[in-house]
């Protein structure tokens, strides 16, 4: 049938609608990527349409619709001359728009990391040697109602290009993303989805594609007929069904609507119905759309699992949904509309052959050619350019948001937070920059405040260190000065206390001299404790380490305390085995520790009570020296105060006056110098247990065993 003027006008209108899909693709792709790459995607969309238009005019149309060479390739009509005008010219424009659609599919998949020149080369490869060849197999002779390509001769049906257009674009996109690799940070440790910066724009793109698809599918009838309007109905219903399917399944499995999938859903339905729109009923188109939604989600999950990074979901939408739609011709189409005598089984096999042949050629050719191109000139931008964004890196295009991000990155690198970010009025980026500057002001204020606080702390520390040093020097000097007269007092008191000394043999004078002697010894002990504590605080206490028999040391201390315990009617128990290992310690220091602990225990134990000393090697090799009593004990809250120098508990001062509060602090400090610890447990009215532990390195038997093992 010769096309009428109405047919020509209809095809021209549909061509315009197909070209309207280009801004739709641009909106979707630029909305799905980050702002720093939005301009780059838009430029690529312009470049692929201009490039493929020229190549398809010069080479592609002839390869696709020229006189067939054995059903494999066209042999004439290169550099198409208009074909005499009218319907032939409009048909050429219609097919040129289809070629541009196939190429544009690739740009979204490889967005954000493919070089501009490499992408243009990819579009050129698709338009020159991939799309026209596979198109010849399925559609050669279409404008004349003939089936000249080898696939068409078998009975392969793809009404408007679920496989011929969208499948080819999807296969090339898959090859390209495999060659170029995933975006930085997309997979691996801490992997995450990379969200688009303007999903509203992407949604607008979906609506543009939906409108443009009326030309894509409606124009594929090539003439105006009753079938034309059925095709339009099926196109809409499939898109709607896929949108509902994606939304329902997304909520069912994830309890939320994945926005990108919801936006892509109707497009998957449009792709799927494109192969069978002329041979299915409206009910069949709804089924196609519902399944297409599920195919889209499954395809997204598959790519995620395989770590294939498709920036906009082009492969699931165009390739996977296109495969399903091509199979749906045999599964849901009306055999009477196929135009051949095949049953469903035979037709399904033919559809599989067509999908396999076109896919194998498109993917292999694209992958091999891109791999070779990558060996010559890298198809991927550098990591630095990818982080900056292709807007600026490849096109020198700036924006308020980019300027803000660049300023923030500069501050991150050089640490100069004094400069304020540039504010572009009346823009979202300007509002962010304004708030960012307020944050910088607050940070600056907080930094100054904290610097002032740190300076005050530094000065206070210096003053405290100076005061502590002066105190230590004063205590050391005073202790030295006090020791000389105290030693004289003690010496003469001992002489005066001898019974044979004439009149001083009087019991009364002996009592006085004994009091002087006891007071002198007490004062000397106090001076020694103060001097030792001041040396420890000044970090000038040096340990005179030597091998010390544990049992001998413990028993010598017990003998010193025993007379006082007997005078107070206190039982002194000693549990110290003679075969305990020796210690490598400062004899005087550990002796002082035990003496302080036992003296305290006797002091705070009432008559009739018991004080125990036990020494043992614990399971982890440490030596534990424990002093327990049945004395007055203390509250748990009072234990920290008992460990402070000169810190005494009110109840104990009232009951036992005369203490200085240096015994426990000095014991803990001397143990710390040995790497040991002091642990106190006490119950008010029931007694106290103090455990002094020395590390296993101080226990000689453990040291020897370790040395033997090391040897």
Q: Which of 498-507, 580-589, 637-646 has the highest mean pLDDT?
A: 580-589
Instruction: Name which residue leads in pLDDT, 621 or 470.
Output: 621
Tell me, yes or no, whether 180 lies in a domain: yes
**What pLDDT is attached to residue 540?**
61
Check whether 614 has a pLDDT greater than 90: yes
Burial of 289 (0-12, 13-18, 19+ CB in 10 A): buried
In a domain, 670, yes or no: yes
**Domain interval for residue 499:** 429-537
- Looking at the structure, do residues 221 and 308 belong to the same domain, yes or no? yes
pLDDT tops 50 at residue 568: yes
Q: Which helix (H) or strand (E) holds 679?
A: strand 677-683
Stretch 161-186: mean pLDDT, rounded? 96
Residues 6+ apart with CB under 8 A from 243: 262, 265, 266, 269, 289, 293
> Are residues 110 and 185 part of one domain?
yes
- 44 domain residue, yes or no: yes
pLDDT of residue 707: 42
pLDDT of 508 higher than 70: no
Mean pLDDT score, 667-681: 89
| Residue at a domain's end among 517, 537, 557 | 537
Q: Quick one: 609 and 705 in the same domain? A: yes
Neighbours of 664 (CB within 10 A): 21
Report, as an integer, the average pLDDT of 620-641. Answer: 88
- Domain containing 247 — which CATH number? 1.10.3430.10
pLDDT band at 61 (very low <50, low <70, confident <90, very high): very high
Q: Which of 253-262, 513-522, 592-601 has the lowest mean pLDDT?
A: 513-522
Summary mean pLDDT of the chain: 86
The answer to whether 522 and 528 are in contact (CB under 8 A) is: no
Q: Are residues 253 and 351 in the same domain?
A: yes
710 pLDDT above the threshold of 60: no
Kindly state whether residue 126 falls inside one of the protein's structural domains: yes
Report the percent of the chain where pLDDT is more than 90.
56
- Torsions phi, psi of 35, nearest 5? -55, -35
The candidate with the shortest Cα–Cα distance to 122, out of 352, 354, 398, 314, is: 314
435-461: average pLDDT: 84
370-397 average pLDDT score:
91
What's the domain count of the chain? 3
Residues 526 and 636 in one domain: no
| pLDDT computed for residue 489 by the predictor | 62
My answer on whether 468 and 582 are in the same domain is: no
Identify whether 410 is part of a domain.
Answer: no
pLDDT for position 256: 81
Q: Considering 537, 556, 584, which residue would you say is the last residue of a domain?
A: 537
How does pLDDT run across 417-431, given as a tens digit for each residue?
A: 777 777 777 666 677
Q: What is the pLDDT of residues 638-647, one digit of tens each?
A: 888 777 776 5
Q: What is the pLDDT of residue 502?
A: 44
Q: Which residue has the higher pLDDT, 53 or 557?
A: 53
pLDDT band for 476, please (50, 70, 90 cuts): low
Same domain, 125 and 99: yes
Judge whether residue 405 has pLDDT over 60.
yes
If asked whether residues 97 and 184 sit together in one domain, one would say: yes
User: Which of 15-24, 458-467, 483-492 has the highest average model confidence (pLDDT)?
Assistant: 15-24
Q: What is the mean pLDDT of residues 315-343?
A: 96
Domain boundary among 537, 557, 592: 537
As a whole number of angstroms, the distance between CA 527 and CA 202 comes to: 85
* Residue 219 · residue 94 · CB < 8 Å: yes
Please tell me whether residues 565 and 522 are part of one structural domain: no
Q: What is the pTM of this model?
A: 0.64
Dig out the tokens for 199 from the structure.
């999903």
CATH number of 524's domain? 1.10.287
Residue 708 confidence (pLDDT): 42
Tens-digit pLDDT profile for residues 204-251: 999 999 999 999 999 999 999 989 999 999 999 999 999 999 999 998
Residues 572 and 529 grouped into a single domain: no
What average pLDDT does this structure show over 60-66? 97
CATH value at residue 559: 3.30.565.10
The pLDDT of residue 68: 96
Scanning 84-225, the segments in alpha helix (DSSP H) are: 87-109, 116-125, 131-139, 150-154, 168-180, 199-218
Q: pLDDT of 6-36, one tens digit each? A: 999 999 999 999 999 999 999 999 999 998 8
Closest among 129, 188, 139, 180 to 161, alpha carbons compared: 139
Residue 434 has pLDDT above 90, yes or no: no
- Mean pLDDT of the region 353-368: 98
Mean pLDDT within 381-390: 91
Which of left, alpha, beta for 541 (phi over 0: left; psi -120 to 50: alpha)?
beta
Q: pLDDT-based confidence at 520, cuts 50/70/90?
A: low
pLDDT band at 706 (very low <50, low <70, confident <90, very high): very low
The predicted pLDDT at position 705 comes to: 46
Check pLDDT > 80 for residue 455: yes
Domain-located, residue 401? no
Task: Answer yes or no: do 565 and 471 share one domain.
Answer: no
Confidence at residue 500, expressed as pLDDT on a 0 to 100 scale: 41
- For range 81-97, the mean pLDDT: 93
pLDDT at 672: 87
Q: Which tens digits make up the pLDDT trace of 101-126?
A: 999 999 999 999 999 999 999 999 99
Residue 412 lies in a domain: no
How much is the pLDDT for 392? Answer: 84
Q: 236 in a domain, yes or no? A: yes
- Whether pLDDT at 655 is above 60: no
Same-domain status, 176 and 293: yes
Question: Residue 48: phi, psi to the nearest 5?
Answer: -70, -35
Q: How far is 391 from 405, CA to CA, in rounded Å?
A: 13
């Amino acid at each position: 049938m010769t096309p009428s003027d109405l047919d020509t006008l209809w095809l021209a209108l549909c061509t315009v609608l197909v070209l309207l899909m280009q801004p739709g693709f641009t909106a979707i792709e630029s909305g799905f990527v980050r702002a720093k790459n939005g301009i780059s995607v838009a430029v690529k969309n312009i470049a692929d349409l201009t490039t493929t238009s020229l190549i398809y005019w010069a080479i592609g149309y002839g390869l696709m619709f020229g006189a067939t060479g054995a059903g494999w390739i066209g042999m004439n009509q290169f550099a198409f001359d208009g074909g005499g005008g009218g319907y032939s010219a409009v048909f050429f424009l219609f097919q040129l728009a289809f070629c541009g659609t196939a190429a544009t599919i690739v740009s979204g998949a490889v967005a954000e990391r493919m070089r501009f020149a490499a992408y243009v080369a990819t579009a050129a490869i698709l338009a020159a040697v991939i799309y026209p060849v596979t198109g010849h197999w399925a559609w050669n002779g279409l404008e004349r109602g003939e089936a000249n390509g080898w696939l068409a001769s078998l009975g392969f049906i793809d009404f408007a290009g679920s496989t011929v257009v969208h499948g080819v674009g999807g296969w090339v996109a898959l090859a390209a993303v495999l060659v170029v690799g995933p975006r930085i940070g997309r997979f691996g440790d801490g992997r995450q989805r990379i969200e688009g910066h303007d999903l509203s724009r992407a949604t607008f793109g979906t609506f543009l594609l939906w409108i443009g698809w009326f030309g894509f599918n409606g124009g594929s009838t090539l003439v105006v007929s009753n079938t034309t309007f059925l095709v339009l109905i099926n196109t809409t219903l499939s898109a709607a069904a896929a949108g509902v399917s994606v939304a329902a399944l997304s909520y069912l499995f994830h309890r939320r609507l994945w926005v990108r999938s919801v936006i892509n859903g109707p497009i998957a339905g449009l792709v799927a119905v494109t192969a069978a729109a002329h041979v299915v009923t409206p009910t069949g188109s709804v089924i196609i759309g519902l399944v297409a939604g599920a195919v889209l989600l499954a395809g997204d999950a598959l790519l995620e699992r395989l770590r294939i990074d498709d920036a906009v979901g082009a492969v699931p939408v165009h390739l996977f949904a296109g495969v399903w739609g091509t199979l749906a011709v045999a599964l849901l189409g009306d055999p009477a509309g196929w135009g051949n005598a095949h049953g469903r089984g035979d037709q399904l096999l033919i559809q599989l052959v067509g999908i396999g042949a076109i896919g194998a050629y498109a993917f292999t050719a694209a992958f091999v050619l891109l791999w070779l191109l990558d060996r010559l000139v890298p198809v991927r931008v550098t990591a630095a350019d990818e982080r900056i964004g292709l807007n600026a890196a490849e096109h020198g295009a700036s924006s308020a948001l980019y300027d803000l991000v660049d300023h923030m990155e500069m501050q991150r690198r050089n640490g100069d937070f004094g400069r304020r970010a540039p504010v572009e009025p009346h823009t979202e980026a300007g509002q962010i920059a304004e708030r960012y500057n307020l944050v910088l002001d607050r940070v600056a204020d907080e930094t100054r405040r904290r610097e002032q606080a740190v300076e005050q702390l530094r000065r206070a520390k210096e003053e405290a260190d100076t005061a502590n040093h002066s105190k230590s020097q004063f205590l050391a000097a005073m202790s030295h000065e006090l020791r000389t007269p105290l030693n004289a007092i003690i010496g003469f008191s001992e002489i005066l206390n001898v019974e044979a000394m004439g009149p001083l043999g009087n019991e009364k004078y002996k009592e006085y001299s004994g009091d002087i002697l006891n007071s002198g010894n007490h004062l000397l002990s106090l001076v020694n404790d103060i001097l030792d504590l001041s040396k420890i605080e000044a970090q000038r206490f040096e340990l005179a380490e030597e091998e010390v028999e544990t049992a001998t040391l413990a028993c010598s201390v017990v003998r010193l305390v025993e007379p006082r315990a007997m005078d107070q009617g206190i039982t002194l128990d000693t549990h110290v085995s003679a075969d305990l290992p020796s210690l490598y310690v400062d004899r005087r220091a550990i002796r002082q520790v035990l003496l302080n602990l036992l003296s305290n225990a006797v002091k705070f134990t009432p008559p009739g009570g018991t004080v125990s000393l036990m020494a043992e090697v614990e399971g982890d090799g440490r030596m534990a020296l424990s002093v327990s009593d049945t004395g007055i004990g203390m509250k748990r809250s009072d234990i920290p105060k008992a460990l402070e120098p000169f810190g005494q508990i009110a109840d104990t001062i009232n009951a036992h006056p005369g203490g200085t509060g240096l015994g426990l602090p000095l014991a803990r400090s001397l143990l710390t110098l040995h790497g040991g610890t002091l642990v106190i447990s006490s119950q008010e009215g029931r007694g106290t247990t103090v455990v002094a532990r020395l590390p296993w390195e101080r226990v000689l038997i453990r040291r020897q065993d370790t040395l033997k093992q090391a040897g």
